[in-house]
Structure 1
């Protein structure tokens, strides 16, 4: 039996990390070649509509491509790296991700993709996606005499 002493656990952890990167490195390289980064998104259900907010600081509206289908949203584009002035200016630290991106968001219910309202201001894209009528929550008022009243959309009662 070989007894091995671990003198420096940080060195051992780094060695394991390198081995994992060697195994999965090809997969991450392929994923990054399709999209260099992905913006943060937030999807909110407001009953009759979804509101999708995407944070795109530093992205120009002309560099965006937004496509909405009945069951999903595709947002893609490019964030260009700003040019540095030639006169002794050095970038000391930049944690911003640049390049192309694509974000696909599956919607839990179908939407009316021809009724979408978009707003792009201050680096935030907001899409208001109205649900199709069949997907909206409906409340049925029950008559105690055994007959049902007509359906009422949520929020009207």
Structure 2
């Protein structure tokens, strides 16, 4: 038999609901889950190329760095912003914002590195990665002894 839960007409110090708006992001388990903080990435493969779309809102083109090394595509973005407002009463308001992003993808060695195209517009990074001619790997049959 389960104990009955009683509702109260006022919040208690020991009740999570009282501090729900303040502490709930810290108390929730997905707060520390990296996947919940990652912007969306879509990869489409056609016969001749891969098209990768990564949502990077709030970053400028200069904040984003893309590299390809030995088939490993890396997308990094970092943004640091500070603002300061002084009021005539002598009070000061300082705000800081920091954001970073890192993703890597393994495309193997079947990418034409010299023909990769990148475009960043309206918070979306688009990469077009043409496949090289030798993108098909032969299937090798292994005999069992």
TM-score normalized by the length of structure 2: 0.57
Taking the TM superposition and a 5 Å limit, the aligned residue runs for 1:98-117 are 98-107=98-107, 110-117=110-117
Asked if 1 retains the 8 angstrom alpha-carbon contact of 2:70 and 2:108, the reply is: no
Q: Where do 5+ consecutive residues of structure 2 fail to align?
A: 7-15, 17-25, 137-145
2:5 aligned with 1:7, yes or no? yes
Partner of 1:56: 56
Q: How far apart, in 1, do the equivalents of 2:106 and 2:45 lie?
A: 13
Is the CA contact 2:110–2:133 (under 8 Å) kept in the aligned structure 1?
no
Partner residue of 2:142?
none
Q: Which moved more, 1:79-88 or 1:98-107?
A: 79-88
Return closer, same or farther for 1:56/1:86 CA change in 2, 3 Å cut-off: farther
Aligned in 2, Cα 1:133/1:111: closer, same or farther, shift over 3 Å? same
Q: Report what 2:131 is aligned to.
A: 131
Q: Deviations over 1:50-82 (max 9, x none)?
A: 011111121011111111235331101113356
Is the alpha carbon distance of 1:103 and 1:77 closer, same or farther for their aligned partners in structure 2, counting shifts above 3 Å? same
CA–CA separation in structure 1 for the residues paired with 2:116 and 2:71: 13
**How large is the Cα RMSD of the aligned pairs?**
3.8
Whether the 8 Å contact between 1:118 and 1:125 is mirrored in structure 2 is yes
How many residues are matched? 110
Greater fraction of residues in helix: 1
